[in-house]
Amino acid sequence: MLLVLGRRVSLSFVKRVIPQYPVLLSNPILQDLRTIKFRVIHSSTVFASATRQNTDTMPERRPFVRLPTDVYPVNYGLCLKPDLIDFTFEGKLEAIVKVNLATNQIVMNCADIDIITASFVPEGGEGEEINATGFNYQNEDEKVTLSFPSALQKGSGTLKIDFVGELNDKMKGFYRSKYATPAGEIRYAAVTQFEATDARRAFPCWDEPAIKATFDISLIVPKDRVALSNMNVIDRKPHPEDDSLLEVKFATTPIMSTYLVAFVIGEYDFVEGQSSDGVTVRVYTPTGKAEQGKFALEVAVKTLPFYNDYFNVPYPLPKIDLIAIADFAAGAMENWGLVTYRETALLIDPKNSCSSSRQWVALVVGHELAHQWFGNLVTMEWWTHLWLNEGFASWIEYLCVDHCFPDYDIWTQFVSADYTRALDLDALDNSHPIEVNVGHPSEVDEIFDAISYSKGASVIRMLHNYIGDKDFRKGMHSYLLKFQHRNAATEDLWDCLEQASGKPIALVMSSWTKQMGFPIIVVDQEQQGDDRILKISQKKFCASGPHNGEDCPNWMVPISICTGEDPGCTKLKVLLDSPETTITINNISPDQWVKINPGTVGFYRIQYSSAMLEGLLPGIRDLTLLPVDRLGLQNDLFSLSRAGMISTVEVLKLMEAFVNEPNYTVWSDLSCNLGVLSSLLSHTDFHEEIQEFIRDLFTPIGLKLGWECKQGEGEPPGAGGHLDALLRGLVLGKLGKAGHKPTLEEARRRFKDHVEGKQILSADLRSPVYLTVLKHGDSATLDTMLKLHKQADMQEEKNRIERVLGAISAPDLIQKVLTFALSEDVRPQDTVSVIGGVAGSSKHGRKAAWKFVKDNWEELHNRYQGGFLISRLIKLSVDGFAIDKMAAEVKSFFESHQAPAAERTVQQCCENILLNAAWLKRDADDIHQYLLKRKAPGLNNPAPPPPFFQRGPPCIIAASAPPFSVHRWTESEHTQSRLNFSKRKNTNDDDVNKQAKNLTKR
C-alpha cells in the first residue's frame, strides 16, 4: 500500500548542557557568517518532564492472539452480490479447508458481517452436512467462532457460509465510492481496500498474511457495470433469476494472502497495452476519461519488464489492471493483478496535469508494481515485517523511475522526500524501531508510518550501497525464488543477501531495524605528512541533542569517504562497529577537503569539526559539492540547530550561501526548512522579518527563472525541463507567499486572465498563483477559488485548490474554509488536507483548525474509523504549536477522546510541541537580532565580528572552555536595533507550499 504521508513537520529542542564555544571555520564565502555557537544547554525541568511523560504514556499493548491453526483454508469459493442502491451485499462462501486436529469449533476473522447460515461438509461426505449451531462474535477481536454439534474430523471438507454485509462509506473493507456520471448524476461503485486487516469486513476469512489460499471469485452485478477482480474473467452469463444482472466468474488466483484480494464494480473506461513480456496491462479511468490513463499505461508497460529483469522472476499473472477509485483513503493498493489508486495517483491530463503529478504517478506505479513480487509473490510472515514490504517498495520505486525518467534526478529527490523525513521522525523519543511487534489491528494500522516507509527505504538504500548492485540483485533473486508463494521474515532476506555478498548483513542490519533512532557521526581530522588521520565516533542523535547517557546504543555504520579531488567518487569505505575509531587516508594534500557520506546514503547525521566544515563550505557556493551533498550538509546543520547544538542564526547564514544554487531539490529542501522556521516564528512579533529573509534569498533565482516556461518544460517524459518546471513553481510560490510585490502583482494579473478565460494558466503555475492570490486575498478571491473548485472536472485540480485554501488570512474566511472541508464538495479522504492546509498556514489558522477538529471530533473520527487518515489529521492539526501548555491540552483531549490507531502520533505531536516551544525560547531573540541586523547594515552591525567559522575544537560536546570569546550583543546594541525597527504588523504564515508538497507526496 502507498500512503499519503506528510513530511518534515517535526521540529525540535534541547535538553542537555554543552559549553558554549565557537566552532567552525572562517570563510571568505559567507561574508557575514560568524561563529557557530555551540550551546550550553541547561537542563530544564520542562524538558526532563517532557521526556519522562513520553515514556510513561507509551501505548499499551492490547490483548491479542493469532488465529488457531487447527482448521485452515486451501481455497475460497466466494460469490458476492452487491446492491449499489441499498449499499448492502449478499455473500456465499464455500471454502475448502483442512482440519488438522479434530474440533467442534472454527475460529475465523469476521467484522461488520452477519452470518445467516454456516455448515461443514466433510470431503466425500455429501449428505453429511453438519450445520453450525452457534456463531459467537468477538467484536473487539474481529473474530467469530462457529460451533458445531459434533467434532469435525481430521481431513478435508467444505465450509459453507451465507452472510450479508454493508457497503460502508469508511473506505475500508467492501465499500461504496461516490462518483458523478458525465451527465452529472451521482452514482456509487463498490470497491475494496483490505490491507491491513479489512478483508474480514467483506467475507469471513482467515485474515492473516501467512494463511495463504487460492481464490475462485464470482461477482453478481448489474449488466451495465464493469466487474473486475484479481484474475481475468473466465465466464460471464446472465443471472438465472434476474436478467438485469450478470454473473461474472474469474480464474483461480495463485495462492495468496487475504489482504491482497480485490474486486471493483462500477462504470469505467480503459486503455490497454501489452508489456514486452506479454502481460496485458489496462488502466481503468472514470468514463469519458480513458485518455487520462495513457501516461500511467506507458509507465506500467515499461515498469513490468524492468522488474522482470531486475528480479529475474517473471510476473506470474496473465493481466494487470490499474484502476482509479474516486473515494480512496491511501495513495494506492497493490492488490495482486488489480491495483487500486486514488484518481490523483493514476490520471494524467496532458493539458491540466502538472509536472509533479506526472512524477508522482510514475513513483506510485513503480511502487505498486514492485509489490507484485515483493509482498504479493513473497509475503511478510506477520505485520511486524511490514516494513520490509513497504521499505523495499519505497526504495525500488525510485530505482524504477530513475530507469524510466533519468531526467527527473529522482535519487536526489529521495533524500529530500524520504531520507530527511525519516531522520526527523526517528530523532523523537516517541519513534519506534523499524521492526515492531504488533498484534491488535489498531497497532497494525499504526505502523503504516514514515518509519516503515521512509526509514525502511533509507536503510535499504544504505544496504544496497553497502553490498553493491550486483550482489544485491543476486540475493534478491534467490530470496524471491526460495520464498515464492510463501511467507518470509526479515531475517530470511538477510540470509539470502549474506550468501550473495559474503558480508555480515544480519549483524549490520539488525542494528538499524531492531533499535529505534540513528547515530550522529562526529568527525575530526589531523594532517600528518601526506596522511590525513580521521577520528570518528558515534552517539545516538535525538531531536533534543545527542544522547549522553551511559546506555547509548551503537550501530554498525557503513561509512564512505570522498575527497575534494573527486567529489563523486568514494575513496574509502569502512564499517564503524564501535563507539569510535581512527581512519588514515594516505597520500592526501593538506588543502584537500574530506567528506563523510558522499551521496548522503548512510542513515545518520554528521557533525564535522570546524576545520573540516570550513573546507567543505566553498563547495556549496562554487557547486563543486554534488547537489545531494549540498542538500545533506544544509539539512544536517538545520537539524543540529533544532537540536540546540548550534544556533539557528548560523543556519540562516549558511542558507544565504545557497544564493547561486541551481538545483530544484536542494531549493526544495531549503524551502521546507525555512517553512518550518517560518511556522515557528509565526509565534513571535517579528514574523515579517523572516518573510523578508525568504524574499531576499529567493529573489535572484526567481528572476533567473522568470514566469515563462522554456520550450520543452513540463512536457511528457524525455522532453527535458521537468526539474526547471518544478523549481519555477516552488520559487514563485515561495516568493508570492512571502509577499514579494512583483510576484504578487504578476500572480494577480495572471489569475485574473485565467478566471476570465483570456489566458489559461499552465498546470505548473496554478499552485503558486492560487497560493499567492489567496494568501493576500479577500472574500472575493476565496469565492472565485471555490467557484473554480466546483467547476473543476479533474480531481487533481480540485486537490490543488483544496490544499491552498487555508492560505487565506482573514479569520472569518478561515472559518469558511474549515466548514467547506467537511462539505459534500470535498471527498472524504481530502478533508484532512484542507484542514491541514488551514493549520499549516498561519498562527490563527492553527488555532482555528485545532478548535474545528475538537468541535467535529465525533464526525471526523467516525468518518476515518481509526485508520491512518486520523493520525495524519492529528499530526497536521497540532504539530505546529510551540507553546508548552498546548502539549498538555492535546494530551488531555486525546485522553478523553480515544483514537487507538493514533496513540503514538499523539505522543509524537506532544513531544514536537514541547520541542518547538524550547527551540523558540532558546533562539528567538538571536534570530530576531540577526534579521534586524542584516536589514540595517552599518547601523547595528557590531564591529569587528569574529571570523565566521573559527578554527577550534571539533563540533562535539566538549567540556573545555571556548578558545576565544564570542561576540554577544550589548544592551545598547539591542536598544538601537529596536529603535531602528519600525514594527510591522505580524502576518500569518507557515508554509502552505510545504503542505502542498506533503499532500501531493505520499
Alpha-helix runs per DSSP H in 502-624: 505-513, 610-616, 618-621
992 close to 771: Cβ distance less than 8 angstroms: yes
Q: What gap in Å lies between CA 560 and CA 602, rounded to an integer?
A: 8
| Closer of 289 and 1001 to Zn ion (Cβ) | 1001
Stretch that binds Zn ion, among 288-296, 386-394, 487-495, 592-600 (CB under 5 A): 386-394
| Closer of 120 and 387 to Zn ion (Cβ) | 387
Q: What are phi and psi of 76, to 5 degrees?
A: -105, 120
DSSP-assigned beta bridge partners for residue 130: 120
| Closer of 393 and 625 to Zn ion (Cβ) | 393
Stretch that binds Zn ion, among 1-9, 158-166, 547-555, 822-830 (CB under 5 A): 1-9
Cβ of residue 738: shortest distance to Zn ion, in angstroms?
36
For every residue of 835-864, which 3-state class applies, written as one string?
Answer: HHHHHCCCHHHHHHHHHHHHHCHHHHHHHH
What is the residue whose three cell numbers read 490563527? 844
Per-residue CA distances from 824 to 155, 187, 331, 537, 959 (Å): 53, 14, 21, 56, 61
| Closer of 380 and 613 to Zn ion (Cβ) | 380
Under rule CB under 5 A, residue 393 binds Zn ion: yes
| Closer of 166 and 390 to Zn ion (Cβ) | 390
| Closer of 393 and 543 to Zn ion (Cβ) | 393
| Closer of 1 and 886 to Zn ion (Cβ) | 1
Cβ of residue 306: shortest distance to Zn ion, in angstroms?
17
400 close to 408: Cβ distance less than 8 angstroms: no
Cβ of residue 1: shortest distance to Zn ion, in angstroms?
5
| Closer of 325 and 631 to Zn ion (Cβ) | 325
Cβ of residue 333: shortest distance to Zn ion, in angstroms?
8
Q: What are phi and psi of 803, to 5 degrees?
A: -70, -25
Report residue 236 as a C-alpha cell: 460471464
Contact set for Zn ion, span 342-371 (CB under 5 A): none
| Closer of 381 and 390 to Zn ion (Cβ) | 390
What is the arrangement of strands in the sheet containing 332-333, beginning at the earlier edge strand? 268-274, 280-286, 319-325, 338-342, 332-333
Cβ of residue 312: shortest distance to Zn ion, in angstroms?
22
Of 537, 536, 540, 544, the residue nearest 553 (C-alpha): 540
Q: What gap in Å lies between CA 300 and CA 306, rounded to an integer?
A: 10
| Closer of 2 and 955 to Zn ion (Cβ) | 2
Stretch that binds Zn ion, among 128-136, 376-384, 388-396, 920-928 (CB under 5 A): 388-396
The sign of the CA dihedral 875, 879, 881, 887 is: positive
Radius of gyration of the chain (CA): 29
Is 745 assigned a catalytic role?
Answer: no
Cβ of residue 198: shortest distance to Zn ion, in angstroms?
16
Under rule CB under 5 A, residue 613 binds Zn ion: no
Cβ of residue 451: shortest distance to Zn ion, in angstroms?
14
Q: Which of 166, 368, 446, 688 is catalytic?
A: 368
DSSP-derived secondary structure for 417-462: IIIHHHHHHHTSTT---SS----SHHHHHHT-SHIIIIIHHHHHHH
Q: What gap in Å lies between CA 22 and CA 966, rounded to an integer?
A: 7
Q: Which residue is nearest to Zn ion (CB)?
A: 393
Q: What gap in Å lies between CA 983 and CA 841, rounded to an integer?
A: 22
Stretch that binds Zn ion, among 2-10, 106-114, 185-193, 458-466 (CB under 5 A): 2-10
Under rule CB under 5 A, residue 260 binds Zn ion: no
Cβ of residue 171: shortest distance to Zn ion, in angstroms?
17
* Count of residues that interact with Zn ion, criterion CB under 5 A: 4
Bridge-based pairing state of the strands 280-286 and 319-325? parallel
What is the residue whose three cell numbers read 499499551? 60
DSSP for residue 806: G
Cβ of residue 375: shortest distance to Zn ion, in angstroms?
7
| 984: number of Cβ within 10 Å | 13
Under rule CB under 5 A, residue 262 binds Zn ion: no
226 close to 264: Cβ distance less than 8 angstroms: yes
Q: List % helix, strand, coil for the chain (3-state, nearest 5).
A: 45, 20, 35
| 591: number of Cβ within 10 Å | 8
| Closer of 197 and 663 to Zn ion (Cβ) | 197
Cβ of residue 400: shortest distance to Zn ion, in angstroms?
13
Stretch that binds Zn ion, among 391-399, 408-416, 718-726, 856-864 (CB under 5 A): 391-399
| Closer of 374 and 658 to Zn ion (Cβ) | 374
14 close to 647: Cβ distance less than 8 angstroms: no
Of 775, 944, 6, the residue nearest 422 (C-alpha): 6
For every residue of 471-493, which 3-state class applies, written as one string?
Answer: HHHHHHHHHHHHHCCEEECHHHH
For every residue of 111-169, which 3-state class applies, written as one string?
Answer: CCEEEEEEEEEECCCCCCCEECCEEEEEHHHCEEEEEEEEEECCEEEEEEEEEEEECEC
| Closer of 80 and 370 to Zn ion (Cβ) | 370
Q: What gap in Å lies between CA 932 and CA 930, rounded to an integer?
A: 5
Cβ of residue 361: shortest distance to Zn ion, in angstroms?
15
Q: What are phi and psi of 422, to 5 degrees?
A: -65, -40
204 close to 159: Cβ distance less than 8 angstroms: no
The sign of the CA dihedral 731, 732, 733, 739 is: positive
DSSP-assigned beta bridge partners for residue 282: 272, 321
> Which residues are annotated as catalytic?
368
* Site residues, Zn ion (CB under 5 A): 1-2, 390, 393
